[in-house]
Structure 1
């Protein structure tokens, strides 16, 4: 067991903490050298269980980790494509949305490109304990890792993502009969594809729609059925007025709002990113707008 101290510790190398790491490196170089980002996996994969071949991102490539804050940053998605000699190919797609696999590659590239912020893999956080000073106020944090090592820090940021939720009604079923969306790509290969399975897809949002299509592709003899609480599939709320809630200028408004107002705002924003389907991408064509998808690709798109 070993112990060390850092000024800033970020747990989880997802988009939020990677964006934080880039901001620290660009805006506070003196802090960046004393910042550590830990990830429990051995690499960075976005939506590991849902890296389906036809899944597209929900948002524009301009809403990457940095462009809205610093359009000149070397950590932009455009610079990632340029570094991989794929910028021409992406531009010729005539689409604002990349594939989910491209976003996943971009996140790993950003982590590899960090010069001052340290990134360590295979480091799982198992416990967090507040450290108090002589005045009784919190002065820092002590983080325990799965291997017994400890890390002390003044600032702690948790970006571990969400845990998979499997309704209790399925507790009695054999584990091999239930596959959560976060485990789909890892486990579907264990299911025989030559049998006429009856597949129930639980849910009516984007992930469920994608899994319905994936089941048809991966289990060609199956008969999938979608089971949902609503009377049908619904699309996201994607109007200009709703998306203004994601403007960088809205951060200060949200921060200054009362707790009651914040709860209402978060409740209203839910419809813009969860519980629905994302529409197909729009591309300009001869002065008009047409909805298109890449050849052979599904028009359904991912939730992140």
Structure 2
């Protein structure tokens, strides 16, 4: 173990943020006793998207894409071991589903977090001082008590995830909430006469389905507007899933930037869309409810881009533009839920500390092993797990590839193969 100039311990790795990616990394490091690592989380506990833990919803990836299985199926941190520890193995066997319930995933992750001693909560990173000439980085962390603590590390990993995104017309609008707050506001919203959902992805569909199921008990008008050309299904074919593999990431990463940007747009159909089961449930509800010629109190409108929102007579009047006809139209609602996605969370302290790193068209240049690229050689690495779509493609936000990302980083820091890093795992070639 190295020490700084004043005798302070120098960790091999400090991880900033504790979502599923870093939680899995912390588990794999601790279990293998790979090196000294410490992870900081600003919240007082692990809690994964609490505002979207809607009853009956599932992850869009299989249960094998847990915190550890792809690196070590024998790990104590696998989902199957969680089921075993909680006497749910037989029930899961009878359940006969490949995707785990979202609520159970959150409980599983909290269970794993409770077994880790390399994670500190209620710690918010304030600054990073680049002391790479001394062989370490100095990290200042604020505590819940209002004091600051200082830690040293040879390597840094940023895993701060993403922040809810609202388009400019929807910002600072009373009566409008982002989908990330849905479970906190839904009971209040159900007392309204009209509710609109804006967005095209899985979150929009799950919220629409949840409100559709509750509609007979509240009798609100339910609307769904999206600028997408349709209510589109996620590509979930076997060959489509091979875009979320180490083999495809190897191929994608070595492409020139302009080719990567073009490939990203072509891969939108495998990255975005709605689970077939969710769409089937929505259509089934609507078909049954319209039996006998009954009129649905529902509006679904694709090709409608939100342009403006203003308050008029205690209503939210929204201006849309049809994407094909370019005709504008207005609709008014009591409440709006914006399922408009997320944007990468790159804290200002991180961008400031590493503003001398190489850039590609305004984004950090990130190596295949997820480390930032610098013009000069340095003893340690700075790893990035957010805002890497431009460098790593389809896998950048995919939970199924989280373990593989962690394996890259762990092996790099350890300087040896702590966990196998598989290749040649697809039936198709991408070259």
Query: Does residue 62 of the first structure (1) align with residue 57 of the second (2)?
Result: no
What is residue 229 of structure 2 aligned with on the other side?
A: 231
CA distance in 1, matches of 2:61, 2:81: 18
Residues 159 and 228 of structure 1: CA distance in aligned 2, closer, same or farther (over 3 Å): same
Q: Once the 2 structures are TM-superposed, how far is the Cα of residue 216 of structure 1 from its aligned partner?
A: 3.8
Residue 36 of structure 1 corresponds to which residue in structure 2? 38
Equivalent of 1:95 in 94, 97, 116:
97
Tell me the secondary structure at the aligned position of residue 204 of structure 2: helix
- Aligned-CA RMSD value: 2.8
Measured after TM superposition, the shift of residue 81 of structure 1 is: 0.4
Once the two structures are superposed, residues 109-161 of structure 1 have per-residue CA deviations (whole angstroms, 9 ceiling, x without a partner) of 122223xx511111122333322416xxxx43333333332332211111111
Task: Tell me which structure has the larger Cα radius of gyration.
Answer: 2
CA distance in 2, matches of 1:125, 1:215: 38
> Structure 1, residues 175-216: CA drift from partner, whole Å, max 9, x if none?
xx1111111122334x264x3431111101111111112334
Q: Which aligned pairs between 1:237-252 and structure 2 lie closer than 5 A?
A: 237-252=235-250
Partners of 1:218 and 1:236 in 2: how far apart?
Answer: 25
Matched, 1:156 2:163: no
Which stretches of structure 1, 4 residues or longer, exceed 6 Å deviation after superposition?
A: none
The whole-number CA distance in structure 2 between the counterparts of 1:221 and 1:4 is 62
Contact 1:68-1:248 at 8 Å conserved across structures: no
Output the CA distance in 2 between the equivalents of 1:101 and 1:113: 19
Q: 2:52 aligns with which of 46, 50, 56?
A: 50
- Residues 153, 233 of structure 1: alpha-carbon distance in 2 compared, 3 angstrom cutoff: same
Q: Give the match for residue 277 of structure 1.
A: 274
**Distance in 2 between residues matched to 1:4 and 1:221, nearest whole Å:** 62
Aligned residue in 1 for 2:14: 9
Aligned residue in 1 for 2:300: none
Structure 1: distance between partners of 2:246 and 2:71: 8
SS of 1:124's equivalent? strand
| Alignment of 1:201 onto 2:203 | no
Q: Look up the match of 1:124.
A: 124
Structure 1 unaligned spans of 5+: 282-290, 297-302
Tell whether the 8 Å contact from 1:39 to 1:124 is kept in structure 2 after alignment: yes
> Following the alignment from structure 1 to structure 2, what is the Cα–Cα distance between the partners of residues 81 and 203?
35
The number of residues matched between the two structures is 271
Unaligned runs of 5+ in 2: 1-7, 286-397, 400-431
The answer as to whether partners of 1:11 and 1:157 remain within 8 angstroms in 2 is yes
Q: Aligned in 2, Cα 1:248/1:132: closer, same or farther, shift over 3 Å?
A: closer
In structure 2, the residue matched to 1:284 is none
More strand per residue: 1 or 2?
2
Give me the TM-score of the superposition, normalised by structure 1.
Answer: 0.78
